[in-house]
A and B are shown apart, each in its own frame.
Chain A
Amino acid sequence: MQTSIDKLIKLTQPGQEADAILRKCVHCGFCNATCPTYQLLGDELDGPRGRIYLIKQALEGNAVTRKTQTHLDRCLNCLACETTCPSGVEYHRLLDIGRNWVDQHVQRSAYDNVRRKLLRGILPYKRRFHFLLSLGQMMSFILPDAVKRAIPARQIRSPWPDKQHQRKMLVLDGCVQPSLAPNINTATARVLAALGISLVKADKAGCCGAVSWHLSAPEEARVFMRQNIDAWWPFIEAGIEAIVMTASGCGSVVKEYGAYLADDKNYAQKARRVSELTKDISEILVNEDLSFFNNTIKNIGKPQRVAFHAPCTLQHGQKITGVVETILQQAGYELTHVPDAHLCCGSAGTYSILQKDLSQQLLINKLKSLENDHPDVIVTMNIGCLNHLASGANTKVLHVVELLEKGLRQGKSLN
């Protein structure tokens, strides 16, 4: 596509990058076909092609208003469009640049500002979030139904395996997951322990930076990134095999640390190393011998029927497709048919809070397709999706490792 990026912007590094990305777009419109918001709203401005055009307009020096900002805000960042794009347009990079540019030039409403600041001020901080969540769980009887549904019941933590194995991996504890679903990482530790791998935590690591990054606060995000790198570095030097991500949302960001900190002299190299070592838990499991799990399941009898929801950050962000399905089948589960599996569930980080209407419509559609084939359980790979789906599902929603760990326990008790 022809561009004439405003000279001022083109001189900057992001401006040049945006220009290069825009030049790749041929305006074919394939992306709209798989865009969740375009499907709901039917407006060119609410699809990737239109957003690319809006960003192009802005970067070419045209006046931007709240209108452009609204359409960019509505983007879920699910990146289904990138999977569909035959021309290899890196939409997520362009969106980051476009959002930052627009947010610098367009004032948000006071209400909007407060909401966004609050999210940035709470979610990434384990203790603050934990406090508020516990309060919510205690006081749930006075909360309206809609809010109540979004708050999961308190989980009883199962013990972390203590046996030490030769193989060691590091796990990102994250920010909201330890409070919402502490068992995911415990389950991961137990599953890996069964495979002869010890999972360790770095206490000083925290939020991966995604919340700030997607709310147009890149510098704040980089602070979180550097903190994590510092926390992990001793472990990396000690020779851990991988940094395991149990939330694909975090994984897709940590895998980009190398790119996000490329201009930081002190951290660029370390960030690259971190990104290289970062693996989604599915990437670890698929290379292990899971026949052990399979046997335990077989002993129980009829295979459980499982609907898998692939988080966007897994299938589009990290381009990991078919891997979880393979794991589940190897572990003896039967997969149900899920139509429109490429579509986002509407969780999308803070989206479920900032774009409630769209988020809820997507959730309804997603649950319809997940429950379409009457599964016994729905599984996914990201805490955000898990919590969002569970708020409306009639079927139990688990993380894949929780399901595997359950199988492990049942198998043991039978043996």
Chain B
Amino acid sequence: MSENRNTLSKQFLQFLPDNAVLTHNEDLHPYECDGLSAYRQVPLVVVIPETIEHIVRIVNICRKTNTPIVCRGAGTSVSGGALPLENGVLLSLAKFNRILNIDPVNRLACVQPGVRNLAISQATQSYGLYYAPDPSSQIACSIGGNVAENAGGVHCLKYGLTVHNILQLKIVTIEGELLTLGGSGLDGPGYDLLALLTGSEGMLGIIVEIVVKLLPVPECASVVLAAFDEIEHAGNAVTEIIASGIIPAGLEMMDRHATRAAEEYVHAGYPDNAAAILLCELDGIKEEVSAQISQVKDILLKHRAVQTRIAKDEVERQLLWAGRKGAFPAVVRLAPDYYCMDGTIPRRKLAFVLNRISELSEEYQLAIANVFHAGDGNLHPLILYDANKPGELHRSEELGGKILELCLEVGGTITGEHGVGVEKLNQMCVQFDTLELSQFHAIKHAFDPDELLNPGKAVPSLHRCAELGAMHVHEGKLPFPDIERF
């Protein structure tokens, strides 16, 4: 191992400075995990390149020495997408943090993968433009990671996921070739490889440049907060808002636990005794927003909202969102660790799923805080536990697995926006059958025949699924539904 480390680092040091090749344990440990710190692995070497040419050379060395590569942006993944490999190189893209070009006429920006999501909107603000997808970690997460995971956010019901908001990618393939995917216009020739690469979790190529689409900042945005005594009422209000033909810019729900934690963080004045709160944002032209906001308020009251409040100004609006966006890390104010789930369900199953989750929570004796992209059915149950208590992590993982399988049973999916990474591999065996997984592997091999790019993530091996003996669920239908299962 250490011999390998030395040979590799010697080769890297031929074109990288000393401080860009990390090989000592002391330096490597802080890179052993991303935002999912329950999974840890010290990499063989960390490299911090600065140019595409550097990356091509690193890739060529790794290909020739059969060394796997794991890419890392800001290291904020909550699915372990950037978990290093013991025998692999961890390639940090943190120094690719420049915005290369802003084109206000064509409403696009060309950025390097290490640029922070929020930094794009800040840089384009003076043109009246912004980048729409806003994952909760947008202050820190990098755009390259957003593309690799097809990140969503609180505004993606109306404005789409990352895949809907990028125009072009430059990737370095494992062959060391630079490919441009997509077009400078709205499409590129041939297969839609731009879509295929988005959300491919670093398994098909190394993203080195991204052209993102920019949208005009809405003339007006307004957010209404509503509190409910029962989660079911909030769920019904959500359904009716959507059914009434309104597509809110954001429609978010938090349960009591999550609200309490977020309130402690931002002091936004969230009601502290409600079973659930809803945040509904409307944006567009002033006249439109003011008409819709009163329509939404009526719907909320009709569904027994016990309190509604419209943010009086931009400061309050930002504050209400800051609490929601910081809700994940803020829940450590309730327990030392949390394990975040990311299932998506058809919205109509919300009440059923939430009831079932609270039953599971009792069963496993672990509290759960729920944060929910209510508009698009993406659920984030946060399982609260204490990693220093033996067995608690294991129990939360098991509980998490149950919740994801529940999402599948009602016709949903195991991950809406966080990606599979390392932590949902088992549930992939439940969501997809052997043929489908084989097709995924065939796609992988079309790009990376020797499996050197982020191997072991996102798509489980057939062997793993066979060992697990997982029951494949199709559209909520288990095979042989008449057989009793516990």
User: Do any beta carbons of A and B sit within 8 angstroms of each other in the complex?
Assistant: yes
Show the binding face of A for B, using Cβ within 8 Å. Answer: 1-4, 23-24, 26-34, 38-39, 42-45, 49-50, 53-54, 57, 62-65, 67-68, 84-88, 339
Is the beta-carbon distance between B329 and A2 smaller than 8 angstroms?
Answer: no
Instruction: Mark each residue of chain B from 468 to 483: 1 if its CB lies under 8 Å from any CB of chain A, else 0.
Output: 0000000000000000
Q: How many residues of B contact A (CB 8 A)?
A: 46
Kindly provide the distance from the CB of B392 to the nearest chain A CB, expressed in whole angstroms. Answer: 10
Q: How many A-B contacts at CB < 8 Å in the complex?
A: 116
Give complex CA distance A84, B326 in Å.
10
A3 CB contact (under 8 Å) in B92, B137, B326, B388 = B388
Is the beta-carbon distance between A43 and B35 smaller than 8 angstroms?
Answer: no
CB-CB nearest 7 A-B residue pairs: A86-B326, A2-B387, A42-B94, A53-B30, A33-B140, A86-B329, A42-B95
Q: Which residues of chain B are near A2, meaning CB under 8 Å?
A: 37-38, 337, 387-388, 393
B187 within 8 A of A: no
Give complex CA distance A67, B19 in Å.
11
B114 within 8 A of A: yes
Interface residues of B in 153-183 (CB under 8 A from A): none
Give complex CA distance A2, B97 in Å.
30
Q: Which residues of chain A are near B19, meaning CB under 8 Å?
A: 43
Is the beta-carbon distance between B139 and A30 smaller than 8 angstroms?
Answer: yes
Is the beta-carbon distance between B388 and A26 smaller than 8 angstroms?
Answer: no
Q: Which residues of chain B are near A42, meaning CB under 8 Å?
A: 48, 92, 94-95, 97, 114
- Determine the residue in chain B with the shortest Cβ distance to A337: B126
Show the binding face of B for A, using Cβ within 8 Å. Answer: 19, 22, 24-27, 29-31, 33-38, 48, 74-76, 92, 94-95, 97, 114, 116, 118, 122, 137, 139-141, 264-265, 326-330, 332-333, 336-338, 387-388, 393
Q: Which residues of chain B are near A53, meaning CB under 8 Å?
A: 29-30
- Determine the residue in chain B with the shortest Cβ distance to A57: B29
- Determine the residue in chain B with the shortest Cβ distance to A63: B26
Is the beta-carbon distance between B388 and A23 smaller than 8 angstroms?
Answer: yes
Q: Which residues of chain B are near A1, meaning CB under 8 Å?
A: 37, 337, 387
Is the beta-carbon distance between B336 and A24 smaller than 8 angstroms?
Answer: yes
Most chain A beta-carbon contacts within 10 A, residue among B19, B30, B387: B30
Kindly provide the distance from the CB of B336 to the nearest chain A CB, expressed in whole angstroms. Answer: 5
- Determine the residue in chain A with the shortest Cβ distance to B97: A42
Is the beta-carbon distance between B94 and A43 smaller than 8 angstroms?
Answer: yes
Is the beta-carbon distance between A86 and B330 smaller than 8 angstroms?
Answer: yes
Is the beta-carbon distance between B26 and A29 smaller than 8 angstroms?
Answer: no
Is the beta-carbon distance between B332 and A44 smaller than 8 angstroms?
Answer: no
Give complex CA distance A28, B78 in Å.
8
Is the beta-carbon distance between B35 and A65 smaller than 8 angstroms?
Answer: no
Is the beta-carbon distance between A67 and B114 smaller than 8 angstroms?
Answer: no
Is the beta-carbon distance between B35 and A44 smaller than 8 angstroms?
Answer: no
A33 CB contact (under 8 Å) in B24, B35, B139, B264 = B139
Kindly provide the distance from the CB of A103 to the nearest chain B CB, expressed in whole angstroms. Answer: 16
Is the beta-carbon distance between A44 and B31 smaller than 8 angstroms?
Answer: yes
20 contacts between A and B (CB under 8 A): A2-B37, A3-B388, A26-B328, A26-B338, A27-B37, A28-B35, A28-B140, A29-B75, A42-B94, A43-B92, A45-B27, A45-B30, A49-B30, A53-B29, A54-B26, A54-B30, A57-B29, A57-B30, A62-B26, A65-B24
Q: Which residues of chain B are near A54, meaning CB under 8 Å?
A: 26, 29-30
- Determine the residue in chain A with the shortest Cβ distance to B333: A88
Give complex CA distance A42, B38 in Å.
24
Is the beta-carbon distance between B30 and A44 smaller than 8 angstroms?
Answer: yes
Give complex CA distance A67, B46 in Å.
15
B137 CB contact (under 8 Å) in A28, A45, A88, A339 = A28
Is the beta-carbon distance between B30 and A50 smaller than 8 angstroms?
Answer: yes
Is the beta-carbon distance between A33 and B37 smaller than 8 angstroms?
Answer: no
Q: Which residues of chain B are near A27, meaning CB under 8 Å?
A: 33-37
Most chain B beta-carbon contacts within 10 A, residue among A33, A57, A88: A33
- Determine the residue in chain A with the shortest Cβ distance to B24: A67
Q: Which residues of chain A are near B97, meaning CB under 8 Å?
A: 39, 42
